[in-house]
Amino acid sequence: MLEIKSLECVRDDRLLFSDLNFSLDDGEVLQIEGSNGCGKTSLLRIICGLRLAEGGQVYWRGETIRANREDYYANMVYIGHLPCIKGDLTVLENIRSLLDTRSLTVEDDVIETALSKVGLASYEDVPGKALSSGQRRRILLAFIELAGAKLWVLDEPLTALDVQGVALMESMIIEHQQAGGSVIFTTHHGMQLDCEMRSVKLGGKEYMKASTWDEE
Amino acid sequence: MLKAYYHLLFRDLRLAFRNRHELANPLIFFVLVVTLFPLAVTPTTEALRAMAPGVIWVSALLAVLLSLDRLFKQDYDDGSLDQLMLSPNPLVILVLAKVTAHWFLTGLPLVIMAPLLGMFMALPDEAISVLIYSLLLGTPILSLIGAIGVSLTVSVNRGGVLLSLIVLPLYIPVLIFGANAVDVAMNGLSVRGQLLFLGAVLALALSLAPLATAVALRITASR
């Protein structure tokens, strides 16, 4: 479904990774591993098409994501480091505006069910600025649940979440995987996923060749 | 696609009305500058009339320039801009929605306030109506061109000076033709040429600026 071919990423004259290949099918969960600054976020942003790779391509259903943009973005949802929450909008308005950019019309009661699932029942009319950072992240959990995407790209989804929040994220990923969806994520927190999972490690030995690349 | 346009437009308008002091800033700036001018110079009717078109147009232009930052800044800072770029809808349409909201929130109030300030500056009636037309055609151009500049500088901390450097040269033709139209109307001549020019630039900006802004936003996001 998603295929990464000979991807290369350079940041500030440093080679983060090169010749990176992997693919992801329906119902697969993939963790990107690596230490700080090894290019996990850059890789996820390249996969989303937000960042341009220095080399290589990302393919979605056999075509590059650029050529297949509309279908790809209708089926992919991305959560980054930033919360995407407006302090002046209520929880309900925030989640609506996120869904509106994806052109999704969702009934109020469906949103309310999703919000109560992430522990924000009765918070619908609370403005975003009155929420804690963990609660803001929980809005995003409700958003990915409602986005109806096959592929979830999650960059540090456990940031600011409490123990119950982490458990919720884990169960959401497992549920999504069982429904045939796929997930790519990064995390520095231990995630106990009770499902089949693969991992790709960045910053391994072969990527230490950056010095030779610099000399060229 | 049209729905995505309206949703984003209304979201931005709603956000602005929840944050009214920010909304009033450009308008207050506009009114203050124009009302301070007569105090600083000899306020004879002839002198005021002679400089009115220039003063009003320059103040309107600077008021728009000062408000440009909020076009993408908040969305960039909280990550919403990434979500807009990952929308299945064309980015150009979403950019156009944001620019439309910006014009409703800055350009339109300036156009509405302009006749009053024109009277302050002792402009004759026919010149006031031309002032409204010229601002009505000119301020959307300022928002459209400004969007290109903001999308290039939004990731730069304190990019205000850079923004002015990018945007001001492109604003100058609009300023010249806008102020000149009012000037010419005061002398009882035809303003057809000036207004047609502004209309042509508006058509050009409307068709090209959102494209340029969308590309610039992608460059900003890819860093």
pLDDT tens digits for A30-48? 999 888 888 899 999 999 9
Strand partners, A117: none
Q: Which two tokens stand for residue B124?
A: 């004759």
φ and ψ of A145, to 5 deg = -60, -40
What predicted TM-score, i.e. pTM, was given to this entire model? 0.91
**Mutation target vs B (from A44, A86, A143, A154; most B CBs, 10 A cutoff):** A86
- In tens, the pLDDT along B119-164 reads 999 999 999 999 999 999 999 999 999 999 999 999 888 888 999 9
A216 at B interface, C-beta within 8 A: no
Judged by CB atoms closer than 8 Å, whether chains meet at A88 and B88 is answered as: no
A101 → closest Cβ in B1, B4, B78 = B4
B88 at A interface, C-beta within 8 A: yes
A12 at B interface, C-beta within 8 A: no
Judged by CB atoms closer than 8 Å, whether chains meet at A73 and B88 is answered as: yes
Q: pLDDT-based confidence at B43, cuts 50/70/90?
A: confident
CA closest to B81 among chain A residues: A84
Cβ contacts of B94 on chain A, cutoff 8 Å:
101
Q: For residues B134 and B151, is the Cβ–Cβ distance under 8 A?
A: no
A80 at B interface, C-beta within 8 A: yes
Cβ contacts of A98 on chain B, cutoff 8 Å:
83
Q: Side-chain half-sphere of B171: how many Cα atoms within 13 Å?
A: 26
Q: pLDDT-based confidence at A210, cuts 50/70/90?
A: very low
Strand order in the sheet with A76-79: A76-79, A151-155, A182-186, A29-33, A198-201
Q: What is the CATH number of the domain that holds A106?
A: 3.40.50.300
Residues 6+ apart with CB under 8 A from B220: B76, B151, B152, B154, B155
Cβ contacts of A51 on chain B, cutoff 8 Å:
221-223
| Maximum distance among all Cα pairs of chain A, rounded to whole angstroms | 60
Q: Which of residues 46-75 of A touch B (CB under 8 A)?
A: 48-52, 69-70, 73-74
Distance from CA of A119 to the nearest CA of B (A): 22
A99 at B interface, C-beta within 8 A: no
φ and ψ of A207, to 5 deg = -90, -5
Q: Identify the burial level of B161 via C-beta atoms within 10 angstroms of its C-beta, where 0-12 means exposed, 13-18 middle and 19 or more buried.
A: exposed
CA closest to B18 among chain A residues: A88
B80 → closest Cβ in A81, A84, A88 = A84
- In tens, the pLDDT along A148-204 reads 899 999 999 998 889 999 999 999 999 999 999 999 999 888 787 878 888 888 875
Residues 6+ apart with CB under 8 A from B32: none
**SS percent in chain B: helix, strand, coil, step 5:** 85, 0, 15
Q: How many angstroms separate the Cα of A134 from the Cα of each of A21, A121, A168, A191? A: 34, 15, 13, 17
- In tens, the pLDDT along B8-36 reads 999 999 999 998 888 899 999 999 999 99
Work out the end-to-end distance of chain A between its first and last CA atoms, rounded to an integer number of angstroms.
36
Q: Which two tokens stand for residue B156?
A: 């730069």
Distance from CA of B36 to the nearest CA of A (A): 34
Beta pairing class for A2-11 and A14-24 = antiparallel
| Number of independent structural domains in chain A | 1
Q: For residues B174 and B142, is the Cβ–Cβ distance under 8 A?
A: yes
**E strand or H helix at B16:** helix B2-17
Distance of CA B31 to the CA centre of its chain: 15
Judged by CB atoms closer than 8 Å, whether chains meet at B19 and A98 is answered as: no
B86 → closest Cβ in A48, A88, A103 = A48
Number of A/B CB contacts below 8 angstroms equals 79
Kindly tell me if the per-residue pLDDT of B89 is higher than 90: yes
Dihedral, CA of residue A127, residue B81, residue B79 and residue A91, to nearest 10: 20
Cβ contacts of A74 on chain B, cutoff 8 Å:
88
Q: Which domain holds residue A81?
A: 2-215
Judged by CB atoms closer than 8 Å, whether chains meet at B87 and A102 is answered as: yes
As a whole number of angstroms, the distance between CA A92 and CA A98 comes to 10
Q: What interhelical angle do A133-146 and A91-101 show, nearest 10?
A: 40
Q: Which two tokens stand for residue A69?
A: 């943009």
Beta pairing class for A29-33 and A198-201 = parallel
Report ipTM (2 d.p.).
0.88
Residues 6+ apart with CB under 8 A from A116: none
Work out the end-to-end distance of chain B between its first and last CA atoms, rounded to an integer number of angstroms.
28
Q: Which two tokens stand for residue B101?
A: 């909201």
Judged by CB atoms closer than 8 Å, whether chains meet at A101 and B19 is answered as: no
